Chain A
Amino acid sequence: MSKNFPFIKIKIQNEDFDVSDEIKNLHQNNTGAIVNFIGVVRGYDEKNNQIINSMTLEHYPGMTESEIEKIVFESSQRWELTGVTVIHRVGNLKPSDQIVFVCVSSKHRQNAFDGCNFIMDWLKTKAPFWKVEENNNKKNWVSFNENDNQALKKWQK
């Protein structure tokens, strides 16, 4: 059942990432489809009706990586994938900065679409990251969105 991964990359970093470079890394002989998701910082908080000047992300070093590894492993058990890259930034970010990148490759497109969607849904609910939005001198810890829990239901076996 377990499939071989020729390529897995999981990184938590302060620096930005180059989407084009990361996608190129997943071009392999056994790959016919590459799907990616990019999360970016919104400049407006709809819930609290205010502008966001910046956002700071913190994580739990060690646990965050291992939770993402578990999610990636589970995706590799469910679908035949040829590669997975997950990059998540931490630290202070500005509106329209890139936050997260999930890129999944496979022989045929459906596995890559499903794998990418699955990894993002689980990352949102399990990987220990916390966002605080900053607006002038005010700080607002972002609260968990219950819709993210609902999104997991589609993956129940």
Chain B
Amino acid sequence: MIIKYFSWIKEHVGKSEELIVLPDHINNVNELINYLNELDKKYSLILEKKNLIKIAVNKTYSSFDTNISNNDEIAFFPPVTGG
């Protein structure tokens, strides 16, 4: 699975993307966030800012309960500020 981070989330995590092997017991975005948080405290920001952070699964806006698999691309980013 590819995980992408943008804006200040990218700066906090220290990378723009990473490849992970999704454990079998992780079925949705919520579970992925909890799993990442257990791996390393740097991911706790995503948990803490859960009400603010946007999620895309395969480049489509998604929610915390969206189902995911190892072939998916997940992105975490702040509310957008273009234009």
* Contact present for A39 and B59 (CB under 8 Å): no
Interface membership of A27, Cβ < 8 A? no
- B70 CB to nearest chain A CB (Å): 19
- Contacts of B8 on A, CB cut-off 8 Å? 141
Query: A131's contact among B60, B61, B82, by CB below 8 Å, is which?
Result: B82
Which residues of B (37-83) have their CB < 8 Å from a CB of A?
A: 56, 59-61, 75, 77-83
For residue A59, which residue of chain B has the nearest CB?
Answer: B82
Write out the residue numbers on chain A whose beta carbons fall within 8 Å of the beta carbon of B78: 130, 141, 143-144
Q: Which residues of B contact A58 (CB under 8 A)?
A: 6-7
Given the complex of chains A and B, what is the CA–CA distance between A120 and B75 in angstroms?
Answer: 24
Q: Is the CB of A60 within 8 A of B81?
A: no
Residue from B61, B77, B82 within 8 A of A100 (CB atoms): B82
The A-contacting residues of B in range 7-58, CB under 8 angstroms, are 7-8, 56
Return B6 CB to nearest CB of chain A, in Å: 6
- List CB contacts (< 8 Å) of A122-137 with chain B: 123-132
In Å, the complex CA distance between A100 and B61 comes to: 22
When distances are taken between beta carbons in the complex, the residues of chain B under 8 Å from A129 are 80-83
A8 within 8 Å of B (CB atoms): no
A contacts with B, residue count (CB < 8 A): 27
**In contact, B83 and A120 (Cβ under 8 angstroms):** yes
- A132-B59 contact in complex given A57-B82, A124-B82, A126-B80, C-beta closer than 8 Å: no
> Which chain A residues border B4 with CB–CB below 8 Å?
60
Given contacts A58-B6, A132-B7, contact A125 B59 (CB under 8 A): no
Query: Are A62 and B59 interface neighbours, CB within 8 A?
Result: yes
Closest to B58 in A: A63
- A130: contacting residue among B59, B60, B81, CB under 8 A: B81
Cβ–Cβ contact A125 & B80, under 8 A: yes
A100-B82, A129-B80 known; A60-B7 Cβ under 8 A: no
A positions within 8 Å CB-CB of B: 39, 57-60, 62-63, 66, 88, 99-100, 120, 123-132, 141-145
Interface residues of B (CB under 8 A from A): 4, 6-8, 56, 59-61, 75, 77-83
Q: Which 3 A-B pairs have the closest CB atoms?
A: A129-B82, A144-B79, A63-B59
